[in-house]
Chain A
Amino acid sequence: MNVRYILPIGIFCVIALISGVAMISILNGDQSRTQLPSPLIGKKAPELVLTSYGRSQASSDAALDFKQMIGDKPFIVNYFASWCAPCQKEIPFLEKLSQKVPIIGVAYKDKPDELAIFLERFGNPFLHIGLDNDGKTAINWGVYGIPETFLISDEGIIIIRHAGEMTHDVYRSIFLPKIEEMMQ
């Protein structure tokens, strides 16, 4: 057989094989996309200028004063929404966690009445809930998919950003060592 015919077919087959293998491995594997590094770590947490949920007095639209609300303690900021399934799943754990670490919730693009049903049904671990109606605050915090959970130090510095569901394992392996470090 002539090289002129074998060569193109051969090259075609090799390319097809490589791209096929690459495609399948990308489709099956690649877990890394769930955790992108945040450049905000080690920086001061951006302000939370949000309408507060469930408070009748018009205390809205002023930046939250973390110090006044929590004192000199590390705390957690959790971005969530009533329409997001992992957010529902993590609530029971957050409720337990809220007994140790105060949690501020940011409801991302949520409706107050749906939020009310969500909180009644799954529980309310939040010390305070702010409504991020247009998603601007989330962008400011570099949020790319809810739920996302931030650990903030007593000085207001972002220590950890976890994208995805909060679980006991995540807390124990990632959050707890940092919290203990800070407490010392």
Chain B
Amino acid sequence: MRGVIGVNKSAISQLIAVLMGVVIAITLFSPLILKNAFAITAEEMLEDPVLEKRARTISAGLRCLVCQNQSIDDSDAELAIDLRKQVRDYLKQDMSDEAIFLALREKYGEFVLLSPPIQPATYLLWIAPLAILGIGILLMANLFFAAKKNNRGSLSQNNKSSGLQVVLPSSKKKKKSETGEAQIPDIIKITFPVFVLILSVAIYLGLGRPDLNDQPLAERSEMRATAEKELEDRQNAALKAFNQAKARVEKNPESLSAQFMLAATASQIGSIEDEVNALEKSLSLSGGDARIKSQLAEALTRQADGQVTKAASSLISQALQTNPEDIRALYLRGLESFQKGEMGDAILAWQSTATLILPDSPLADTLRSDIAKAATSNGVDIPKIKFASLPKSNISTSNISDSGGNNALIDVNPTLFEEQRSQFSNLSEIEQAQFIQQMVQRLSDRLEQQPENFYGWLQLANAHLSMQDVASASNALNSAANAVTSDEHRIALIEAALLSHTSLSLTQLVENQLALLPDSLRQSNSIKFLEGEYWRQIGDNNTAIKLWSDILNEIPAEGQQAQTLQQLIAELSN
């Protein structure tokens, strides 16, 4: 029985020994294999084999200052390649090895020499190999003497039991306790090395894999985590907005704003089919609005993987007929010409697009590289691109920033929404876009520093809304909700959320904020009006009519407000 166990054990330990041997061999030889595979290229090498050998030796003693723990001989960094070339240039100039080391040391300092200096930080590095060797020798000696002692013991035992093939259980036990073998169960002896192997492979794959960036660990995982979370948040918000827009369209398929919003949200979640469908419906509902035509053309192009289709092309022409300065249509016209190979036309169209946008708008980069591409494939010089300059419009932020309404609130003003819209739409489309773009950039920079700035968040939300960026707008409004410090803020927030008309992901927010208002305020006409708007937006027209009728009973019937309210109620009743 003992013999069987013995065979098993030695087979397993042999297996482990072979495995470890393979691992050690790979580790030892991998630098050689990798070095030859990656670092030095044939064109770098010198023809003279003697010089080349010297070059290799010198390179091996020079630190790559980018990677720092590698010699330039086995680094692929740009600087290492340049330094290798420099070393070979020096050699061609008949410089001695010492002179080369010295020349580079004069430029890069002591640090460029690879042998690590002996200093407190590196004591462990220098001592560790010696210490490990010492410990190894001690262990070997220990094992050696123990084995000798053991041998002597078993010899005498063998002598005693010569002729007897069966070792009695009792004597076996005794022997085992003498050497201590029985103390550690076999299962641990086998699983422990395996566990260590698996652990080291896991650590290597997690931390040391060569394809990971050369970035500090904490920063890397933190960056990845925040990026993932941001993406997820944005996707969730967009998906929610899309689902709500869809519900609204189902309830009211003939509403232009509902269809248009569905298209905007579909584009955010990247569902091109839905976007195209919604835009087609919007187009027919709007009676052929030129702006929707160019949007549809863009969506169709994206649907065709960036190819401007026939349908898109005719839409572009129509849009440009109505408004020759339609940025989207102009850009697409350029793209169409580019795809047809008419580079001159493409450049012209893109150049006129550029004159309509600011040099730092996102499209500007695309335009620059597109024009450069067209010019290169046509074999002409890259033309100068002229972008629009900042508009000298007399409109100031106050027109927008007051939309949150500081004190105008408490007066009921049903036309509030429309007024702001029309004020803004007096500007040309480009002016609007440029204005908003600047504002958004400035604002979001500022708000990062002062998240408690409630009206700042409102402004930002407003700006996002005018760019149809519903997800960002609702994010901004949610941030505003965290900055609410007074009932006045609360009312302004509700108003802003309702102002969006879309309400989309914001119904919950409006509901919460309404509930948090004190009863006295909730009974006021202004809040009743807002609440009515809320119910109207979520589709409960009856409650809206009821609330608004309440207000009508309390205000003088001849006033403008009363008239507007009556109009609104009449619209809802139909």
Contacts and interface: CB of A to CB of B under 8 A. Distances in A.
Interface of A: 1-2, 4-5, 7-9, 11-12, 15, 18, 22-24, 27-30, 33, 36-40, 109, 113, 116-117, 120-121, 134-136, 138-142, 144-145
B184 A5 contact: yes
Nearest to A36: B111
Interface of B: 65-66, 68, 78-79, 82-83, 85-86, 105-111, 124, 132, 135, 139, 142-143, 146, 179-180, 183-184, 192, 196, 207, 216-218, 359, 365, 368, 372, 382
B109 A142 contact: yes
Given A28-B218, A136-B86, A8 B139 contact: yes
B109 A37 contact: yes
A24 B208 CA distance: 11
Given A4-B142, A39-B107, 10 more contacts: A1-B180, A1-B184, A27-B218, A39-B106, A109-B78, A116-B382, A136-B86, A139-B86, A144-B108, A145-B79
Nearest to B132: A15
B184 A136 contact: no
A12 B132 CA distance: 10
Name which of A9, A109, A139 has the most chain B CB atoms within 10 A of its CB.
Answer: A139
A145 B66 contact: yes
Given A8-B139, A113-B382, A142 B180 contact: no
Contact of B359 (A5, A23, A24, A121): A121
A155 to B, nearest CB: 20
Nearest to A8: B139
Contacts of B83: 139
A30 B69 CA distance: 13
Contacts of A145: 65-66, 79
A27 B216 contact: yes
Contact of A28 (B68, B85, B192, B216): B216
B247 to A, nearest CB: 43
Nearest to B181: A2
Given A27-B207, A39-B107, A40-B107, A4 B146 contact: yes
Nearest to A43: B106
Interface of chain B, main secondary structure: helix
Contacts of B78: 109, 135
Nearest to A138: B82
B186 to A, nearest CB: 12
Given A1-B180, A28-B216, A135 B82 contact: yes
Interface of chain A, main secondary structure: helix
B217 A27 contact: yes
A30 B215 CA distance: 11
10 contacts: A1-B183, A1-B184, A4-B146, A11-B135, A23-B207, A27-B207, A28-B216, A139-B86, A142-B108, A144-B66
Nearest to A31: B216
B441 to A, nearest CB: 14
B139 A36 contact: no
Contacts of B82: 134-136, 138-139
A116 B124 CA distance: 51
Contacts of A38: 108-109
Contacts of A135: 78-79, 82
Contacts of B216: 27-30
A40 B106 CA distance: 7
Contacts of B184: 1-2, 5
A109 B370 CA distance: 24
Contacts of B68: 33
A27 B216 CA distance: 5
Given A27-B207, A28-B217, A117 B143 contact: no
Nearest to A143: B79
Contact of B107 (A1, A117, A142): A142
A49 to B, nearest CB: 15
Contacts of A30: 216
Contacts of A12: 196
Nearest to A33: B68
Nearest to A5: B184
B107 A141 contact: yes
Contacts of A109: 78
A178 B23 CA distance: 55
A172 to B, nearest CB: 20
A38 B247 CA distance: 66
A145 B79 CA distance: 8
Contacts of B111: 36-37
Given A2-B183, A5-B184, A145-B79, A39 B372 contact: no
Name which of A7, A27, A136 has the most chain B CB atoms within 10 A of its CB.
Answer: A27
Contacts of A15: 132
Name which of A18, A117, A144 has the most chain B CB atoms within 10 A of its CB.
Answer: A144
A5 B186 CA distance: 12
